Amino acid sequence: MSCDDDIVLDAYAAIRCPVKVQNHHDSTVRLPEGASAVGMRGSSDLQHELFGGRAFVDRVLAMLAAVPGAVDLRLLAEEDWTVAEAETREAVRTGAPVIIGPRLPVDRQGHRRGSPAVLVRGQDRDDGSPGYVPVQVRARRMLERHHRPGLLRCSPVGRPVPGSSLNVVDARLRTGREEDQLYVAHFWRLLEACQWQAGGEPLAGLVGTDLLTPTTSDYEENVLAMSAPRAGQGTLAIAWVPLTRKQIRTFSRTAPDGWRARSPLERYDHEFSFRVKVAEVARRRTGASDDPRPMVAPIVIRECESCHWWSVCQPALGDDDLSLRINKSPLDVREISVLRSLGVRSVHDLVDADLDALLPRYLPEVMHRPGAEERLKLAARRAHMMAQGVELERTSSDPLNLPDGDFEIDLDIETSSNDRVYLWGFLVRDRSNPLDGGTYRPFVRFEDLDDEREIGLARQAMEWLTQVLADHPDATVFHYSDYEIIHLAKLAGAGHDEVLRQALTATTHRHVDLFTVVRENFFGAHGLSLKVVANKVAGFSWRDDSPGGLNSQRWFVDAVHGADEHAREEARRRVLDYNEDDVRATAALRDWLREQD
């Protein structure tokens, strides 16, 4: 029997929408045009690989390949699966310390397939054979600062030894990284199925972009601490996740507080087995009158934005569906499911609901979420605004007190996927001249930046801005959020650059964060992002059909590494148009705000 004849799911199944699994295995659901097996994966993971994340992963794998005795199987990626699996078996048999690009045997009985980026040799098994721990690499931060020592153990990527790892004195896994823990738990179960798992406590490794610093040069006798952002010093490290430690908060109907802490393996087993059942039921659907009902119904989540199944799910939701309409601080899947079970499916259902009567039935089912009552009331507030056609609701009565000088500058930056500022965009406008629609002035480098080039570009932009402000003493610089100032401060500190320091000191008092003004005076039905507010209330439209910071990072990659000069030039123009529209949107929103006083 081939793998295609079985229900065999990959590591993404347990952490992604179960409707994907259902649609994939239901023969009555037509595969959307252009969809493929890759559509079963999560959008965020695909985006990381498409622009920027792949380079980071390759860098980490190259560091691991340099470990003495490491076996690198990446060159077999295009070979038949059985060839790579045979080479993996041999590497395991000989006890290689690191195996890169392994191919694990399919676990048909457990309905699992897939392979981690790396296997690292851990504690030997009881029979004396080599045992392994799965390691996955992610191009994002995995850690956050924490004051309690001993919560996390790590190894430098260049010395991956789970059994002699080091305490990190001031960090832990970031809140929100539960999915990554479930993802690597999938590979632990696969290792168990083929009896390649390490002995002792079940472990898995996660490598993120965080840098850790040893307290001395001797890694094995000392602890690690988080490095300061952009310090340029420190080592990438593997964070070892204890897969049986109860550290994930989940709903529990029997627990006194309504929730219970479960381990990554417990949580993974629950989620994965549920999706296997979903697939089994979907397989029995043939279009006959006695078909079983689908086990799950669509609920809008962030994953839907780039999912190939959206054209299938959207019609089933209805235009007024609560999960579709409430897209700012959205209710999670369980919260929506509970509301649906109580007869609240749409925005208008929530508007008509008696919250005082609803809450006693609702809250016991969602105690896994801190602040569940406030979250529902916030959603209800937004629902009432939507029903009335109100986008922004004024929450203050005092004047907005925007600077009223004639000369105004709007600022917006663009960053690459590795958080390098490659574009400083300005709009310069003289309000005393009614014919002055504003002049766009970009400072940009379409190339892969290092510290020196990034700081050099920032210096050019700040030297220009400082001179403009000196020429116009009444001028004000506007930006939407403190994103620009934070990056300027980081660059000034990281490069010890006097020009940037002076610009930060001399001009900050002339900067106005327009987002703060909006946040302190308005409540938004769909949030307060510039894309929403400038469009909905000021009537501003971006030229691009899909404006957004994440998309602009992909355009930057195309602008630098496009297949030919035409493709690169087209991407450059798209980036510049998008950035210009951002600063013009800020100006348009400010004009609208002045009309509200």
pLDDT in tens, the chain (597 residues): 344 458 999 999 999 999 999 999 999 998 776 555 443 434 444 444 444 478 889 999 999 999 999 999 998 878 888 899 999 999 999 999 999 999 999 999 999 999 999 999 999 999 999 999 999 999 888 888 776 655 688 889 999 988 666 777 777 888 778 999 999 999 999 999 999 999 999 999 999 988 887 765 444 445 566 665 454 567 888 999 999 998 888 888 888 877 888 999 999 999 999 999 999 999 999 999 999 999 999 999 988 888 889 989 999 999 999 999 999 999 999 999 999 999 999 999 999 999 999 999 999 999 888 899 999 999 999 999 999 999 999 999 989 989 988 999 999 999 998 889 999 999 999 998 888 889 999 999 999 999 899 999 999 999 999 999 999 999 999 999 999 999 999 888 876 778 888 888 877 789 999 999 999 999 999 999 999 999 999 999 999 988 888 889 889 999 999 999 999 999 999 999 999 999 999 999 999 999 987
> Token pair 């939507």 is at which residue?
386
Answer whether 240's CB lies under 8 Å from 122's CB: no
Distance of alpha carbon 23 from alpha carbon 17, whole angstroms: 11
φ, ψ for residue 234, nearest 5 deg: 120, 175
pTM, 2 dp: 0.81
- CA 295 – CA 277 distance, rounded (Å): 8
Identity of the amino acid at 518: V
**In the block, residue with structure tokens 């929506």:** 336
Count the residues in the chain.
Answer: 597
Q: What is the pLDDT of residue 271?
A: 95
Strand boundaries in 9-114, DSSP class E:
71-72, 98-100
- Provide the residue type at 578 as one letter: Y
Please give the Cα distance from 412 to 410 (Å, whole number): 7
Distance (Å, rounded) from C-alpha 166 to C-alpha 168?
A: 6
Q: CA 1 → CA 4, 5, 7, 279, distances in Å?
A: 8, 6, 11, 18
Per the structure block, which two tokens stand in for 540? 């501003």
CATH code 3.30.420.10 for 407-596 = yes
Closest CA to 518 of 539, 540, 537: 537
Q: In 3D, which of 209, 572, 588 has the Cα closest to residue 423? A: 572
Going by C-beta distance under 8 Å and a sequence separation of 6 or more, which residues neighbour residue 166? 153, 154, 155, 214, 219, 220, 222, 223, 224
- CA 154 vs. chain centroid, Å, equals 23
Can you tell me the distance from the alpha carbon of 155 to that of 24, in angstroms, rounded to the nearest whole number? Answer: 39
CA 561/CA 468 separation, integer angstroms: 34
Q: Where are the domains of the chain?
A: 52-243, 318-389, 407-596
DSSP structural state of residue 32:
P
Residue type, 425: G
CA distances from 292 to 21, 212, 283 (A): 16, 53, 10
The single-letter code of the amino acid at 543 is R
